[in-house]
Chain A
Amino acid sequence: MINQENAPKNGKPLQVNVLRYDPESGGAPYWQTYTVPRRRASRVLDVLEYIQDELDPGLGYRRHICHNLVCHSCYVNVNGHARMTCQALIKPDVAEIRIEPYGDFVPIRDLIVDYAQPR
């Protein structure tokens, strides 16, 4: 990714804590931790795509997105702040990040929110 060159190739993996929510179980949201190799952890977008493709295909995260700062459908909360995942760079010295669904809309599953239903 970005700065694949800048990211330490064999650096310590990134801990990614994702707030998950399963509408079918009806239970409360819960945290799940994933470990993502540094070379796949330059933007939050890369991290979530890596988790979905390689670790957990069941993770709910929208994949119909522009990848390029335009569409605004990839919003999540990163460490408590609303960010577009394509624009959220992860510094190489960060060891752990926290990802929650975008708080302004009603959640559908995991990180997917219903943009037609503001909270």
Chain B
Amino acid sequence: MLSTVAQVKTDVLIIGSGAAGARAAIEAAEFTAAVTLAAKGAPRRSGTTNLAGVHYAAALGHADEDTPWEHFHDTIVEARWLADQELARVMCLHGPKSVHDLERYGLHWYRTPDGTHYKQLPAPGHSFNRGVHYNGKTGKMVQDALIDEVKRHPNIHLLGDVFITQILVDDSGVVGAVGIHLERGELLAISTRSVVIATGGAGMVFKVTDMETGSTGDGIAMAFRAGADLIAPEMHQFFPTAFVWPETLRGVAVNSSQLWKLGLRLYNANDERFMERYYPEQKEHMPRDILSQCIFREITEGRGAEHGGVWLDTRWIEEFETLRRDRPRSYIWPEKLGVNVQRIEVAPTYHFTLGGIRINTEAETTIPGLYAAGEVVGATHGANRLAGNALTECLVFGEIAGRNAALRALSTTARPAPEAMVRAECQRLRGVLPETGTGRRPRAIYDDLRHAMYHNVGIVRDGRRLRAAVRRVAELREEVRSVQLTNTQHYNVEWIWALELDGMLELADLFATGAEMRTESRGAHYREDYPLLDNENWLKNILVRREGKRHVYWTEPVTLPYLSEVKMRYAEPSR
């Protein structure tokens, strides 16, 4: 097993072919670097970018008096002041330029009828109409435009079906990487001085999610193993409204955030418009975190409907019939599966990994030569992300990471990936993929982990369940050592699950431990035993790094260089 090692040499290795990775590849290639763009699945057909809904948030000001600074202000306030203001500022100021970049790559955004301006849609939390879009296909169109552009660059080598498992690091920083070529079942030893991690979020760590099924947080786990700092491991966003029935659609988000602005109403099983009780003034017009918690509370307190959700009523939306016909995948397809789209039973679904790898505004991690961009990064959105900010983050930081990775590669001397490090990784992989395991199959352990995380580290948390989750994760980690695998070399699906599981178990422990540390409630992090917001003690971020086998946690106060007067937008219970 994995006995042959193929050598690959590249200036820049980019891991992940979604929006952030593809954008980074284009930028690095324009700086003349030889780029290897590695994807775990089939490029263009894999990754969560395809699934992005409608909005691409950029303050172009085509619909109103919006400015990038207003966008920044909204982002910080809705992040409950936990966002890294430097990162959020860069995202918002560069956002409009990235819209034009995409247009240059071939994405013809929706425009006003006279063709002079971009159409910009409203979304909750945004003070202005900020969402440029391509109707219900925005994510797909962004992904297609980027891959089309990638293919126009002869110096980008697209490498699909390659699972990168380790970044090789010595005192000077990145010196290479190791991966598995899934199709051939052989190891790749990659010589490179610059690596960009753009592998997206970790939605699959939780049982119910609207992410693509490859979103297992491999890149976050890999950066952590390599010794990089992670930030905000406790922060995970749930999208408030996703199908709960039929089973096959469970977790798929009911698009889109726009519905809130248009007059969507939520009812519990008693036909009560329950948001009136929580927020008499704003009602359903609330950000994702608060809506998720209110819906979850209705369900857990016994006011849920037959499949454990609440009712999303679209009959109050005047434009709904137009929307329905405009977005067949969102509404007409579910109808074919038996859903009544006038009244949809919904519950929250895991949507976005807010925490992740710590970077600065140059997309540099704490390891020289290691860059990160997109959802894999933490702290850009603090404790709650606004609709449309995810794609913007990918494009903006993808560009920055690609440029800096290229500049480093072009100004350092490449050398072969150190053999001893490659051998050590082979050794580790033999442990992750045991040849003679007799235990359970990886898929069963995978399902157990996702179940434990969703129920104990989900929307509503408390110390007891968080500690139970940590214990459960430790048990599963023990069990995974003797996992039983199919004995094939070429595209072994069970290898993929075992490799993903290895990273997911590492991350699950960090997620639960981080959540236990934060003894307050803020944004997406809600603790039943600490239900109040606590600006006095918790206007700070949790960080974690690996030193040898030890996990070292610490906190750092949030710095407020641009907006310093901490004011909450909603009446949240606070200390």
* Residues in chain A within 8 A of chain B (CB atoms): 1-6, 22-24, 42-43, 45-46, 52-53, 57-73, 89, 108-109, 112, 114-116
Number of chain B residues close to chain A: CB under 8 A: 38
**24 A-B interface contacts by CB (under 8 A):** A1-B247, A23-B490, A24-B488, A42-B248, A43-B248, A58-B486, A59-B493, A60-B491, A60-B493, A63-B496, A64-B40, A64-B41, A65-B212, A66-B50, A67-B252, A70-B50, A71-B45, A71-B51, A73-B45, A108-B490, A114-B160, A115-B42, A115-B44, A116-B43
Measured CB to CB, the closest approach of chain B to A5, in angstroms, equals 7
Contact in complex: A70, B139 (CB < 8 Å): yes
Nearest neighbor of A65 in chain B, beta-carbon distance = B213
- B208 on interface, CB distance cutoff 8 Å: no
- B338 on interface, CB distance cutoff 8 Å: yes
Bitwise interface map of B from 136 to 147 toward A, beta carbon under 8 Å scored 1, else 0: 000110000000
Contact in complex: B212, A66 (CB < 8 Å): yes
Measured CB to CB, the closest approach of chain B to A50, in angstroms, equals 12
- B272 on interface, CB distance cutoff 8 Å: no
Nearest neighbor of B334 in chain A, beta-carbon distance = A2
In terms of DSSP, what is the predominant structure of the interface of chain A? loop
The A-contacting residues of B in range 222-270, CB under 8 angstroms, are: 246-249, 252
In angstroms, Cα B160 to Cα A71, docked, is 15
In angstroms, Cα B493 to Cα A59, docked, is 8
Residues from chain A with a CB closer than 8 A to the CB of B41 are 62, 64, 73
- B325 on interface, CB distance cutoff 8 Å: no
Residues from chain B with a CB closer than 8 A to the CB of A4 are 246-247
- Are A57 and B248 also in contact (CB < 8 A) when A22-B488, A69-B329, A73-B42 are? no
Measured CB to CB, the closest approach of chain B to A118, in angstroms, equals 12
- B183 on interface, CB distance cutoff 8 Å: yes
Contact in complex: A70, B51 (CB < 8 Å): yes
In angstroms, Cα B329 to Cα A1, docked, is 17
The 4 closest A-B pairs by CB, nearest first: A73-B45, A64-B214, A64-B41, A2-B337
Contact in complex: A70, B213 (CB < 8 Å): no
Residues from chain B with a CB closer than 8 A to the CB of A89 are 336
Count: A-B pairs, CB below 8 Å = 106
The A-contacting residues of B in range 127-172, CB under 8 angstroms, are: 139-140, 158, 160-161
Nearest neighbor of B252 in chain A, beta-carbon distance = A68
- B441 on interface, CB distance cutoff 8 Å: yes
Measured CB to CB, the closest approach of chain B to A2, in angstroms, equals 4
Contact in complex: B491, A109 (CB < 8 Å): yes
Contact in complex: A71, B46 (CB < 8 Å): yes
Residues from chain B with a CB closer than 8 A to the CB of A3 are 246, 337-338
Contact in complex: A70, B246 (CB < 8 Å): no
- B489 on interface, CB distance cutoff 8 Å: yes
- Are A2 and B46 also in contact (CB < 8 A) when A57-B486, A63-B496, A69-B333 are? no
Measured CB to CB, the closest approach of chain A to B471, in angstroms, equals 26
In angstroms, Cα B337 to Cα A1, docked, is 9
Residues from chain A with a CB closer than 8 A to the CB of B46 are 64-65, 71, 73
In angstroms, Cα B307 to Cα A4, docked, is 13
Contact in complex: A70, B329 (CB < 8 Å): yes
Nearest neighbor of B338 in chain A, beta-carbon distance = A3
- B494 on interface, CB distance cutoff 8 Å: yes
In angstroms, Cα B494 to Cα A59, docked, is 10
Measured CB to CB, the closest approach of chain A to B447, in angstroms, equals 9
Residues from chain A with a CB closer than 8 A to the CB of B430 are none
- B443 on interface, CB distance cutoff 8 Å: yes
Nearest neighbor of B41 in chain A, beta-carbon distance = A64
Contact in complex: B488, A6 (CB < 8 Å): no
Residues from chain B with a CB closer than 8 A to the CB of A23 are 490
Bitwise interface map of B from 70 to 96 toward A, beta carbon under 8 Å scored 1, else 0: 000000000000000000000000000
Bitwise interface map of B from 465 to 496 toward A, beta carbon under 8 Å scored 1, else 0: 00000000000000000000010111101101
Residues from chain A with a CB closer than 8 A to the CB of B249 are 2
In angstroms, Cα B490 to Cα A116, docked, is 16
Nearest neighbor of A54 in chain B, beta-carbon distance = B443
Measured CB to CB, the closest approach of chain B to A108, in angstroms, equals 5
Nearest neighbor of B45 in chain A, beta-carbon distance = A73
Measured CB to CB, the closest approach of chain B to A7, in angstroms, equals 10
Contact in complex: A52, B493 (CB < 8 Å): yes
Please give 8 more A-B residue pairs, beta carbons under 8 A apart, in addition to A1-B246, A1-B248, A57-B494: A3-B338, A22-B488, A43-B248, A52-B493, A58-B493, A59-B493, A69-B329, A108-B161
Contact in complex: B248, A46 (CB < 8 Å): yes
Residues from chain A with a CB closer than 8 A to the CB of B336 are 2, 89
Nearest neighbor of A21 in chain B, beta-carbon distance = B490
Measured CB to CB, the closest approach of chain A to B365, in angstroms, equals 25
In angstroms, Cα B100 to Cα A42, docked, is 43
In angstroms, Cα B43 to Cα A116, docked, is 8
In angstroms, Cα B493 to Cα A108, docked, is 12
Residues from chain B with a CB closer than 8 A to the CB of A69 are 329, 333
The A-contacting residues of B in range 25-46, CB under 8 angstroms, are: 40-46
In angstroms, Cα B558 to Cα A91, docked, is 56
| Among candidates A24, A68, A108, residue contacting B51 with C-beta atoms closer than 8 Å | A68
Among B42, B50, B213, chain A packs the most CB atoms within 10 A around the CB of B42
